[in-house]
Structure 1
Amino acid sequence: MLATIQEMELLEETQLLADVIIQSETFVEYMEAKKQLSGNEEAQRLIADFNRKKEQHEEVQRFGRYHPDYDQVSKDIRELKRKMDKHEYVKVFKKAEKELEGLLNEVSGIIAHSVSDTIKVPTGNPFFDSMSCSGGCGSGKGCSCG
């Protein structure tokens, strides 16, 4: 399949948009937070401990409350998650990750809605995603989706 001139121009514009996002303060802060998190031994140990316990929890979940270790494993994973989430580098990373996700969602929405107002764009919020119009009503927002 040969690309048309329009498709090539679109790809070039897409690359320019990606470059702008990569140079944004939001992305730079995300990368810095990721670097700090990766370089912190305590944070990495907490993440590894949580991931190991998560695997154990998934195994216990197969049997549910009937598994003899269900209560203890469930308690342990909640405690590890809380401890991991309280670590400063984890908090900073999660905040930066959420801000970058918001930026990408906003850009996606702008692009989608410049094509059509009925395009469904995930917002990252399940409550609002479930309420948005799928574009299948055919009534031009007469279904209270807009």
Structure 2
Amino acid sequence: MDILQLTRALGHAIQEDERYLAFMAAKEANDQDEELQRLIGEFNLKRISINSEASKEHKDQEKLERLNAELRDCYETVMQNVHMAAYNDAKQAMDALLNEINTIIAVSANGGDPDTAQASGGCSGSCSGCSGCN
């Protein structure tokens, strides 16, 4: 099996993983939650209003402060939604899995041992912004 076939097999394995399945289920629940979708739409409209007001030559500072407060309130409401909370948890688990996979690939591509490569040490496989290896 060549490397691209192995990569496709990895893709299939990812899609069978419980973290992927939980992430997709949470995403679907978000998409089906009409109240959440309404709140997200409201949040986006408030963000557009803020951008519009902020780009004016003569900004209304009071209006900007009010819109920012409304945006923060809307954001808090969105984040307190049960489906959004489940989505965020599932996304964190999925991101951790992908980070671990990327670390193993990066360490391997740099000559390291794929069997001992771990993302839990904080290494992303990229040396940019790194203070050095342990």
Scaled to the shorter chain, the TM-score interval is 0.7 to 0.9
2:15 maps to which residue?
A: 22
Quote the offset at 1:97 in angstroms: 1.1
Aligned partners of 2:91, 2:80: CA distance in 1, in Å? Answer: 16
Secondary structure, aligned partner of 2:35: helix
Aligned partners of 2:44, 2:30: CA distance in 1, in Å? Answer: 16
Aligned partners of 2:22, 2:67: CA distance in 1, in Å? Answer: 35
Contiguous gaps of at least 5 residues in structure 2: 113-118
2:30 to 26, 37, 46: 37
The verdict on how the C-alpha distance between 1:90 and 1:115 changes in structure 2, with shifts beyond 3 A counting, is same
The AA in structure 2 aligned to 1:74 is: N
1:145 aligns with 2:125: no
RMSD after superposition = 2.8
Q: What is the TM-score with the length of structure 2 in the denominator? A: 0.79
1:59 aligns with 2:46: no
Aligned partners of 2:89, 2:53: CA distance in 1, in Å? Answer: 31
The verdict on how the C-alpha distance between 1:16 and 1:64 changes in structure 2, with shifts beyond 3 A counting, is farther
Aligned partners of 1:92, 1:102: CA distance in 2, in Å? Answer: 16
Aligned partners of 2:82, 2:74: CA distance in 1, in Å? Answer: 15
Quote the offset at 1:134 in angstroms: 3.1
Deviations 1:46-105 (A, max 9, x none): 111111111112223335994341111110100000011001001111111121111111
The AA in structure 2 aligned to 1:56 is: S
The AA in structure 1 aligned to 2:93 is: E
**Percent sequence identity over matched residues?**
28
Aligned partners of 1:49, 1:18: CA distance in 2, in Å? Answer: 36
Instruction: Give the alignment of 1:1-146 within 5 angstroms.
Output: 9-62=2-55, 66-68=59-61, 69-116=63-110, 133-134=127-128, 145-146=132-133
Greater relative contact order structure (CA < 8 Å, 6+ sep): 2
* Conservation of the 8 A alpha-carbon contact between 1:64 and 1:70: no
* Conservation of the 8 A alpha-carbon contact between 1:65 and 1:71: no
Aligned partners of 2:9, 2:57: CA distance in 1, in Å? Answer: 50
Aligned partners of 1:37, 1:75: CA distance in 2, in Å? Answer: 24
